[in-house]
Amino acid sequence: MNVLEENIAEFKTDFPKSWSFLWSPEEAEKISKEHKDQIHFLNKEGTEIVKNYLNSSKMLGYSTGTDWSPFTKGYFKTESRFNVSMDCGSEIKKWLYNLGIPFEKYVFVDSDNSGQAIMLTWKMVIKYWEGMFWDTDLTIFDGSLNWALFYYHESQLFFGKDNVFDQEAEFEKNLEQNKLLN
């Protein structure tokens, strides 16, 4: 576990009583205990920490033009895209799997339709992709900030990895993140 994962655990809360990536509250209750144990919605304070952690990274910058990307230009060495469609089930699962993120790795969702941030395993992202990637822009990342998956509401996934190290920017980012976690 990294610093963010260790510090965020105390902000876990019950599954929301509103719609989320798991669909209705009634449908969310029906998922297996094994899956529930890998999905942790965060309370308001935890959601704010995740949002501020992501914002302090300066990762999201929304470049413009024909090569539009949600990521700050030059933040990642490598970017790839996937177009989400109604019948892409097996292709999207294969694409997500091939990103190389371990199934047991805990990741963060900035927030979903419930308005809450979520800490869950990568395996659950792949399993419940249909509920995540359909309506609202969202960012999935881990505490290292070395990669991110961004869903753009016009059915596009953007994956960036291998962030480019800038010593001065990294110092400022770490200062902001330490303020959030302490």
pLDDT at 167: 52
Question: Which residue type sits at 117?
Answer: A
pTM: 0.89
Identify the segments of the chain with pLDDT beneath 50.
none
What is the number of other CB atoms lying within 10 angstroms of the CB of residue 64?
9
Q: Could you tell me the residue ranges of all domains in the chain?
A: 3-181
Look at residue 134 in the predicted model and tell me its pLDDT.
86
- pLDDT, tens digit, for every residue of 142-159? 999 999 999 999 999 999
How confident is the model at residue 82, as a pLDDT? Answer: 97
Tell me the per-residue pLDDT of 34-51, one tens digit each, with 9 for 90 and over: 999 999 999 999 999 999
pLDDT of residue 170: 65
The total of other beta-carbon atoms located within 10 Å of residue 36's CB is 14
Q: What single-letter DSSP state applies at residue 99? A: T
Contact 140, 54 (CB under 8 A): no
